[in-house]
Amino acid sequence: MTATWIHDAVRTPFGRAGGALAGVRPDDLAALVMRETVERLGLDPARIDDVVFGDANQAGEDNRDVARFGALLAGFPSSVPGVTVNRLCGSSVEAVIQGSRAIESGDASIVLAGGVESMSRAPYVVEKTARPWPAIGNPTMWNTAIGWRMTNPALPAGWTISNGESAELLAGRFGISREAQDGFALRSHRAAAAAWAAGRYDDEIVQVPGAPLARDEGIRDDTTLGALGALRALFAADGTVTAGNSSPITDGASAVLLAAEGALDGEPLARIAGRGVFGNDPDVFGIAPVEAANRALARAGRSWADVDLVELNEAFASQSLACLAGWPELDPELVNRDGGAIAIGHPLGASGGRIIGHAAHELARRGGGVAVVAICIGVGQGLALVLER
């Protein structure tokens, strides 16, 4: 069975909700990273066997298979197909996994994977009744930017709580203090700012025409423990989860070019060595990456002792710290050394492509090593990859 290699990975800087990228359609963001990826490699897009893109919302301008429309907007020939996948926050990791499976099964040689999300442009939706032409009445309107809507009443009530409420549950279950969460958030901001200043994101960034960002818009150089500690809890009166120790609502896109061994010229960044997926109860969704990563390592024939770096998506500080507690063999200093989603942002469908891409670029900079990429997913799932170079 052939291996899957990552030949390049590109993303936009991530913009805050209502910020620099709020005026850009998600299909245009997707097209931008698709086009940039093939141009950087000098790849004829007609050689791409499939485009697989993740998108968690799919309720607005991204509602009609954004992978296909992104490819057409990128100028790819109409012979290049595209499919959009949805595993919520893990959608672009899922896209990479599906692309790698196609390559390893022999169904494809080159796959462009990734994801996109414009949480700023996520629309409101109005619920309909069972009647085909109901009176206007007082319909319920839902904001699709984040969170559950139209939940099925058959589900247990505890399973339909918000992700923020779940983050509070994890903080209590694992004894994670407010101070620990704020300290983790501060580290994320400082590490991300230092990484940008040192140029460690330069190789993976494409600027958005008309909305250029010097760096990810959510990074706060001036934040302090005092400033973070002054923020109020959002999900419980006596809680510990705040806007400051949670990932912000964000816009952005990412792309990862996958190829079979020998399908492309040039030295690839890294090889996909293992994959893992795991599900647990939705009310503690954030710890599913623990077992997903353990499974990915086992399938790669590796242990935590072999790991040189970890990219763990920071949905919440409490969730991230709970995962670290589940990996006692792992040195926490190997995790998100260039910052994480609390500072960089979390555009749901694009975040997985960001962490995969950064891990692959970092392995290339180091000249080798083993990386784990892991992400939690609302409704109780986790995904993970092991990359090697």
Catalytic residue (choose from 7, 89, 323, 361): 89
Burial class (CB in 10 A: 0-12, 13-18, 19+), 346: buried
Tally Cβ neighbours within 10 Å of residue 116. Answer: 38
- Asked if residue 310 lies in contact with residue 324, where contact means CB atoms within 8 angstroms, the answer is no
- Asked if residue 301 lies in contact with residue 275, where contact means CB atoms within 8 angstroms, the answer is no
Dihedral of alpha carbons 185, 292, 202, 49, sign: negative
Beta bridge partners of 375: 383
- Listed in sequence order, the residues at least 6 apart from 23 whose beta carbon sits closer than 8 Å to its beta carbon are 210, 211
Q: What tokens were used for 263? A: 């399908």
Q: What tokens were used for 280? A: 């647990």
* Residue 346 annotated as catalytic: yes
Distances (CA, A) of 219 to 15, 121, 309, 316: 10, 21, 21, 15
Q: What is the dihedral of CA 265, 270, 274, 277, to 10 degrees?
A: -100
Rounded to 10 deg, the angle between the 66-73 and 26-41 helix axes is 60
Q: Where are the alpha helices (DSSP H) in the chain?
A: 26-41, 66-73, 91-104, 163-173, 178-197, 225-229, 288-299, 317-326, 341-344, 351-366
Pairing between β-strand 110-118 and β-strand 250-260 as defined by DSSP bridges: antiparallel
66 phi and psi angles, rounded to 5 deg: -60, -25
Residue type, 203: D
| Chain Cα centroid distance, residue 386 | 16
The H-or-E segment that residue 278 falls in is strand 270-279
Catalytic residue (choose from 189, 346, 358, 361): 346
* Residue 89 annotated as catalytic: yes
Which residues belong to the active site? 89, 346, 376
